[in-house]
Amino acid sequence: MTQKTLKKCYSFEGKGLHTGKYATMTVKPAPVDTGIIFKRTDVGRHAVIKAIAQNVSDTSRSTSLTQDGITIRTVEHILSALTGLGVDNAIIEVDNIECPILDGSARRYSVLIGKDGLEEQDAPRHTITIREPIEIKDEANGSFIKIEPFEGSSYDTTVDFNSQVLGVQTAHWDSSMDYIKEIGSCRTFVFFHEIEYLFRNNLIKGGDVDNAIVIVEHPVSKKQLEDLSKLFGKEELEITSGGYLNNLDLHFPNECGRHKLLDLIGDLRLAGGFLNARITAYKPGHTINTTAAKAILTAASK
């Protein structure tokens, strides 16, 4: 299989989920063997950050990369979209510290780029072949990621927050499936009881009820709903019979599980390319995802 890049440039604008800072992001075609790189255009022409696991600098509710003292935050959604679409080489220019969250998914990226198709390039694709199984575990919360030899890319996730609303959700994607329809549109989510804590800790400053599914696990008072409505500038927020805030309608019953898979695909792209592997993840998150990406990169270099 040959390498692929974009046929043209695509621009996206909006707030960063955690910083609340407005950014314009432009995804551009790139030459053979570029891989995926970010450029902070607000910092200078040499502010380049390679999308590679060694550059992971923070995994608090999203994945941040830092190179030569320059940081770009919340990279997982655009990395997931480019991986799901089969893009080998791209330059992503951002004029602020964080990629825009848009609707909380990778839908806009994947739909626009996917509609035009990709440009074939005159060089073979660099795939990462897993020769021996790798397993990363977090003994504290029981999460794990297994990476096993496989012809192609296959991802299976199980999400369990011990939540009566979510239950245990599973999701699957492999390279034979339509990423845009099955994964790209699945939005990020947050528990109602986490929102105040996250704001207090300088996270989700750009969050609103248009870019996140809100799960209401515990009883909520009328005043709490009114306060949240004022915070986000929305009226008549209510709790559905299923236990979600009525700000959004679910695209899939397991949309939250699929979003965790979306994140996993993006984070594992930091291993440096497309994986020939079967990935099985239980309770994945950015920390264990990026630890797995580092382990794959290390194994591939031997």
pLDDT at 199: 64
Would you say 274 and 294 are in contact if contact means Cβ atoms under 8 Å apart?
no
Residue 282 pLDDT: 98
Q: What is the pLDDT of residue 294?
A: 97
What is the per-residue pLDDT for 203?
Answer: 57
Q: Which pLDDT score is estimated for 200? A: 62
Q: Is 286 a catalytic residue?
A: yes
Is the distance from CB of 180 to CB of 82 less than 8 angstroms? no
Q: Tokens standing for 299?
A: 């194994």
Burial pattern 234-252, b for ≥16 Cβ within 10 A else e, equals eeebeeeeebbbebbeebe
Provide the pLDDT for residue 192.
85
DSSP string, 217-236: -S---HHHHHHHHHHHT-S-
**pLDDT tens digit at each of 302 positions of the chain:** 999 999 999 999 999 988 889 999 999 999 999 999 999 999 998 999 999 999 999 998 899 999 999 999 999 999 999 999 999 999 999 999 999 999 999 999 999 999 999 999 999 999 999 999 999 999 999 999 999 999 999 999 999 999 999 999 999 999 999 999 999 999 999 898 887 676 666 655 556 667 889 899 988 888 888 877 777 777 778 888 899 988 888 999 999 999 999 999 999 999 999 999 999 999 999 999 999 999 999 998 76
pLDDT at 251: 95
- Placement of tokens 């949240």 in the chain: 228
Q: What is the pLDDT of residue 165?
A: 95
Tens digits of per-residue pLDDT, 135-163? 999 999 999 999 999 999 999 999 999 99
**Residue 237 pLDDT:** 82
* Domains of the chain (ranges, CATH numbers): 2-126 (3.30.230.20)
Bridge-partner residues for 5, per DSSP?
A: 89, 119
Residue type, 4: K
Q: What counts of helices (H) and strands (E) characterise the chain? A: 7, 18
